[in-house]
Amino acid sequence: MKDTILWLQLNERNVSDGKDLYSSITDLNQWIKRNSGLKLGERARLYFQLLVEVNDLDLPVHERLLFLERMHSPILNIISKLSIKYSGSGLPLAGDKIKFVEMVNTFWSEMAKGHKIIIDDLSESHFFTPFFKQKEKQQDLTCALYSVIYYLNAQLYSNYMLYSCCSDNVWRDIHQVYRFASKRNLINKIINRQFLNEKNAEKLELTIDDLYKKVLLFSLANPYHLSVSEMELLWEALNLWSKYTEVNINTAKVLEREYPFIIKPYSDQAPFSNYNHHNSGKIADLDLPDFNSDSVWGLETKKLIAHLETKNHSTEASAYFFERLFRAWMGTNIRKLSRKELIEPVVIAIGVSCISQFLSQIDISPKILKLEEEKNNTLEPTSSVYSFYQAYLVDESPQGSRLKINHHSEKSIFPDMGEVIAIKHADDNVQIGYLRWMRETQEGNIELGIEHLSIMAEPVQLSKSSYTQQNKSLAGQDEIENSSVLDSFVFPGGKEHRYQPILFTHTFIEKFYNTRTDYLKLTHKTGSINIRLTQKVNEVLDYSLYLFEKAETMQLTSEEKKIKAAQFEKMWDKI
């Protein structure tokens, strides 16, 4: 063992004593076939034991490479089955779920380690003289370098998908393996090993350079702020898109040309925005202790952005998603906060159901957040599923908020990206918005990113108007007999809605609302009025936004009209 070029933190390899599992296997393919019928846990234990043993043995390069090639598909199959055990689970993951995550990470790590050993074995002290005359060894080395980045990329991707922190030393090893390959002009060599080709990338002929740029771009797209489906779509698309970017490992050129992103190859860090690219600062602003030809690398993304803006993307990504990617890959998505490090206790409701309970029936410590029931509250209790959490407002801007939840004693969170969330402040002010990202911190807390729908809203309830029930036969009335009360919000509309009030309610309203002549009863803690929906302006998940107006009924007396109108105006005084 040499391990003097890449500092790969490898252990000393030993000669087999004939007692290990590997020595007992005469035909690896047959052994894998025999064990394919075992239970998942036992099969995973055997495969992992075999990987660890082989990585500890002193084997010829060709034998080790052949072993790893044959183990590739069975290991990926095991990882896929283990991942199902925690896929779609609420965060943070419980103890048994975490064990499956750790097992997946160790499989990726051990497969990468096996190829690191091959790199180490081929890295003789006289590396440049006889080696490149041996074409077979050059192919073996290129395959090993490619494989290390492939498995470490997969490990990083797995962590991002769980919104968890990246494993230690993974970024450092990726940077160093790429540097090693670059110095030996191997980064653009085509890998002919079919076992490493991804299903959708067989015709793309990915190189070491492509794999490296793929994970750089993925990390720079703010994956913690993406939904799982967006991450999956982006990861696949980067097989093609990564070809339109450029990596330069010459520090002088990187600084001179002001690359938008900087990489510190000797640290265990992902790439980050080059602030000097946008601000006229000094080189010292990068806080780099020393500059040489490859102490700082740069990633250029201009060609990629131009390609995405002009070519057919051939993906299912929305225009909004592309807009976010453009901002991220141009290095211009640094959000300016109106208030920094703001720590304020709040209560949040996920799913925005049971607004009556949200108004009056929650008793959560600290007492400042206790929601007292008002004497004149006429809202009825409902039986919808709901979740309340005590949270802390950490950062806020006009566009959104960042919340932190101490989740050690709470139940797991199961919201979807784009789900509606209501935030109630200590002063009873209510905000509503959409969940745009979620991640788990190193301390075990959950952070949520909320995009504001309205920074001032009033919870209300919507039900069938007594006038409507008496004079009309509503379709599906039996079906909704026990669900005639809907929890909703009202808030002031903007210029595009001619500043009319907007009703935010469940799409279920359409099951018992037929025409614009049907009246609905809108109940607020200040009173109730009959309303009529006039226009549907948007729809989000299970919720719809409507413009509405007061409904005048023939049955109301002149005095009743005045009372109802006064109640309506009183409700809007606060907004």
What amino acid is encoded at 272 in this protein?
F
* Maximum CA extent, the chain: 103
- The domain segmentation of the chain, as residue ranges, is 1-196, 344-455, 458-573
CA within 13 Å, CB half, 519: 20
Spatial CA neighbour of 23 closest among 61, 62, 63, 73: 63
Give 345's contacts (C-beta < 8 A, 6+ positions apart): 366, 368, 369, 390, 391, 392, 393, 426
Would the CATH topology of 344-455 be identical to that of 458-573? Answer: yes
Q: What is the pLDDT of residue 274?
A: 80
H helices of 445-512, in order, are: 466-471
For position 521, what pLDDT does the model report? 83
Identify the CA nearest to 357 among candidates 347, 365, 367, 345. 347
Q: Compute the distance between CA of residue 62 and CA of residue 69 in angstroms, rounded to an integer.
A: 11
Q: Can you give the pLDDT at residue 191?
A: 79
Q: Helix (H, G, I), strand (E, B), or coil: what is residue 379?
A: coil
134/125 Cα distance (integer angstroms): 16
Q: Which residues of the chain have pLDDT under 70?
A: 1-7, 90-92, 124-136, 192-204, 276-293, 311-316, 333-342, 351-387, 407-414, 442, 466-485, 508, 510-517, 540-541, 552-575
Helix (H) or strand (E) holding 217: helix 208-220
- Tens digit of pLDDT for each residue in 115-133? 999 998 887 644 443 444 4
Alpha carbon distance 95, 88 (integer Å): 15
Looking up tokens 């109106």, which residue turns up?
338
Measure the CA–CA gap between 228 and 392, rounded to whole angstroms. 25
Residues 232-249 pLDDT 10s: 899 999 999 999 999 998
Whole-number pLDDT of residue 111: 96
d(CA 497, CA 504): 14
| H or E segment and range at residue 361 | none
pLDDT for 416-471, tens place per residue? 777 788 888 777 778 888 888 888 776 777 888 988 888 788 878 777 776 554 44
What's residue 351's pLDDT? 63
How far apart are the C-alpha atoms of 476 and 183, rounded to whole Å? 72
Residue type at 203? K
Q: What is the pTM of this model?
A: 0.70
- Are 186 and 145 spatial neighbours (Cβ–Cβ below 8 Å)? yes
Q: DSSP labels for 5-27?
A: SS---PPPPB---S-STGGG-S-
**What is the Cα–Cα distance from 301 to 329, expressed in whole angstroms?**
6
The predicted pLDDT at position 246 comes to 94
pLDDT at site 376:
40
Distance from C-alpha of 520 to C-alpha of 488, rounded to nearest angstrom: 13
Query: What's the confidence (pLDDT) of residue 398?
Result: 73
Contact predicate 239/428, CB 8 Å: no
Nearest Cα residue to 120 out of 61, 70, 183:
61
CA–CA gap between residue 231 and residue 237 (Å, rounded): 10
> So what's the architecture of 458-573 in CATH?
Beta Barrel (2.40)
| CB 317, CB 233: distance < 8 Å | yes
Note whether 267 and 295 are within 8 A (CB). no
**CATH architecture, range 344-455:** Beta Barrel (2.40)
How many whole angstroms separate alpha carbon 494 and alpha carbon 501? 9
Sign of CA dihedral 157, 418, 338, 426: negative
Q: What is the pLDDT of residue 178?
A: 94
């109108």: which residue's tokens? 565
Nearest one of 153, 187, 182 to 170, comparing CA atoms? 153
Q: For the purposes of burial, counting CB atoms within 10 Å of the CB of 269, is it exposed (0-12), middle (13-18) or buried (19 or more)?
A: middle
Strands (E), 381-515: 387-396, 400-405, 420-424, 430-440, 446-464, 486-492, 501-506
pLDDT reported for residue 239? 92
pLDDT score for 204: 57
3-state secondary structure of 381: coil
Q: What residues form DSSP beta bridges with 547?
A: 502, 535
Q: What letter does residue 130 receive in the DSSP assignment?
A: S
CA distance 48 to 59: 18
